[in-house]
Amino acid sequence: MNRSSFLASAALGAILGTALFSAGPASSQGGAIVYDPTLAALEGAMKLIQTTMSDTLNAITNQLTTTGPLAIILKMGFSQNANYARGQIAAQQQITDASNTAMARFHRDVRNASIRDQHTTSPMHCAHVDNGQTVIAGGAQSWKVSNAIQGVQDQRGEAVQGMPAYFGTGQAIESLNQLHFKRYCSQTEASAGLCQVSQNQNADQRASTLFGTGTLNGQDGVNAANDYVTHLIQPIVPAALRGDQLTSLTGKEASALRREYEARMSLARNVLNDAIAEQTPSVPLNALQQQQLQNEGITPAITTGSALTALTLDVHRRYSDINWAAQLQSMTPAAVEREIANELAVTNYLLLENYRMTMKHAVVAATQLAATEEQNFHPAVEMPALNVSNQ
């Protein structure tokens, strides 16, 4: 029971006790009321009740003040709730910070992995670099081969001393036949008793000797291709002009015409020498290139290839190689861009080679035009000889 209830009960008990057990009212002899104990008790009880109620209200008012117990209790509760809220906010902040840190680390790792992948060299890029080096090295060797063949064939065509045609056209014909019988004797010629059948019968007459898989079959293949071109361009060399053949008036004209002939033959040989040189085995092929040749069905396997073979492998790999197609699917964007750049580099190389070949074709076309017009030119009328003394 709280304090207010106790005070109210005490006041009520005092009132009832006064009413029941107190003496009757006292009156004076003259009939005037002098003192009434009941009223006095009642008044006292009322005052007690008022005092009690006042004290109760004061107690309640004191509890409701900003410094009272109830306010203190409420303040403590609100403070605790605020502390809980601050604790929750701090916890949420820590959770958020931890989540942000974890996500930042995750995104950083993803970015680092992306940067790593972007800068990681693709195996196909390495294969392209290897092929490019092979093509360039093979091209350098091809120039040496072409230059060497040109030097020998120019001397042969000019019938310089030491060459068969220097001693006459018959000697040039006999030398050419003997070379044919030695390397490319056919069954018909063997039956005639001219030679023994060769494994490369009539190879010096067949276009397949020059154009095959892209790499000539060793030194024998290079010799056969050169002999085919010789029969194609200049099988019989005219006899050399020597001695008084060069000093007479007729000889001087013949010498000028001979130089014209030799220049045109040299140009024709130069164009075909490039075809031989580009297919000359001159650079080693790595294991990947050899495997690609086997995948394409080129047998027997070769370990030394030509510039043309290296360039062919580079083109075929991007067109039909299953391994390259599979790796293309998993390449990063940067790797794909590098692959496109490699293809553009190959395109530039081919354009340069086409430009060089176009220059030769232009020279050949101009020579043919000049030769045609030279044959077609005829003076309108025969002119008399010029009298120099009249000038």
How confident is the model at residue 330, as a pLDDT?
Answer: 81
How many domains are contained in the chain? 1
Is residue 40 within 8 Å of residue 23, measured between CB atoms?
Answer: no
3-state secondary structure of 34: strand
Q: What is the DSSP letter of 159?
A: T
Kindly state whether residue 243 falls inside one of the protein's structural domains.
yes
Kindly state whether residue 270 falls inside one of the protein's structural domains.
yes
Query: Minimal CA–CA distance to 181: which of 169, 165, 166, 192?
Result: 192
Kindly state whether residue 98 falls inside one of the protein's structural domains.
no
Is residue 241 within 8 Å of residue 251, measured between CB atoms?
Answer: yes
Kindly state whether residue 356 falls inside one of the protein's structural domains.
yes
Kindly state whether residue 306 falls inside one of the protein's structural domains.
yes
Kindly state whether residue 290 falls inside one of the protein's structural domains.
yes
234 vs 158, 265, 355, CA distance in Å?
A: 11, 7, 27
- Angle of helix 307-320 relative to helix 123-158, nearest 10 degrees? 150
Domain containing 205: what range?
123-372
How confident is the model at residue 276, as a pLDDT?
Answer: 95
Kindly state whether residue 302 falls inside one of the protein's structural domains.
yes
Is residue 262 within 8 Å of residue 157, measured between CB atoms?
Answer: yes
211 vs 59, 185, 206, 315, CA distance in Å?
A: 122, 21, 9, 18
The stretches of the chain forming alpha helices (DSSP H) are 3-21, 37-64, 69-119, 123-158, 169-184, 187-191, 218-233, 244-247, 249-278, 287-295, 307-320, 322-329, 333-376
How confident is the model at residue 210, as a pLDDT?
Answer: 94
Kindly state whether residue 141 falls inside one of the protein's structural domains.
yes
Question: Could you give the CA distance from residue 210 to residue 226 in angstroms, rounded to a whole number?
Answer: 8
The two beta strands, 33-35 and 26-27, are: antiparallel
Q: What is the mean pLDDT of each run of 10 residues along the chain (391 residues)?
A: 51 51 47 65 82 81 69 76 83 90 91 80 80 88 93 93 92 94 94 93 94 90 95 93 87 91 94 94 89 84 89 87 84 85 90 93 94 84 70 54
